[in-house]
């Protein structure tokens, strides 16, 4: 299928369940830019269709600079909390790489049959990871407990890893 709106280079995408509605979220790579746009819309699967997209600007507090990507991965937990990774990749397949994982806000019903994104004024830093480039996040909801957050990397010539974010799920 065609991408639902004009894009340049999508870096992260996720699907959230908000009050029984599927919500599709995505962000552009925005490498070297101070911010990127998080966009979201209702998603139906049969037939595949998107509702109108809304957007909110997100500026990662770190990392920043010429090779920084404000969002390199996204996921959402069962309570609508939004997690993102930010990364630095200089374009050299040997690195150096650096990533930060954040909890940045929530996606929730707005009370008027719509969905809104509420971004925190100050995102919560969950991890800073030197030497790796996080390009995937996944939340596993623990029965009766806090969500457990995993990250996946694509470290070019150094391969990839999948690990739990230290301190999540406890």
pLDDT tens digits, 97-146: 899 999 999 999 998 888 999 999 999 999 999 989 999 999 998 777 78
Hey, is 68 helix, strand or coil?
strand
**Alpha carbon of 65 to those of 2, 6, 93, 125, 166: distances in Å?**
32, 25, 18, 18, 26
How confident is the model over 46-81, as pLDDT tens digits? 999 999 999 999 999 887 888 899 999 999 999 999
pTM given for the model: 0.92
């Amino acid at each position: 299928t065609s991408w639902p709106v004009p894009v340049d280079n999508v870096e992260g995408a996720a699907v959230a369940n908000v009050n029984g509605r599927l919500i599709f979220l995505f962000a552009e790579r925005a490498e070297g830019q101070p911010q990127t746009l998080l966009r979201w819309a209702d998603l139906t699967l049969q037939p595949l269709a998107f509702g109108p997209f809304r957007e909110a600007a997100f500026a990662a507090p770190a990392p920043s600079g010429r090779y920084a990507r404000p969002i390199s991965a996204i996921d959402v937990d069962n309570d609508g909390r939004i997690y993102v990774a930010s990364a630095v990749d200089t374009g050299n397949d040997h690195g150096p790489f650096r990533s930060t994982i954040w909890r940045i806000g929530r996606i929730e019903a707005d009370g008027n049959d719509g969905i809104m994104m509420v971004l925190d004024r100050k995102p919560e830093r969950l991890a800073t990871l030197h030497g790796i480039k996080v390009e995937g996040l996944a939340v596993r909801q623990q029965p009766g407990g806090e969500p457990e957050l995993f990250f996946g990397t694509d470290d070019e010539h150094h391969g990839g890893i999948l690990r739990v974010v230290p301190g999540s799920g406890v």
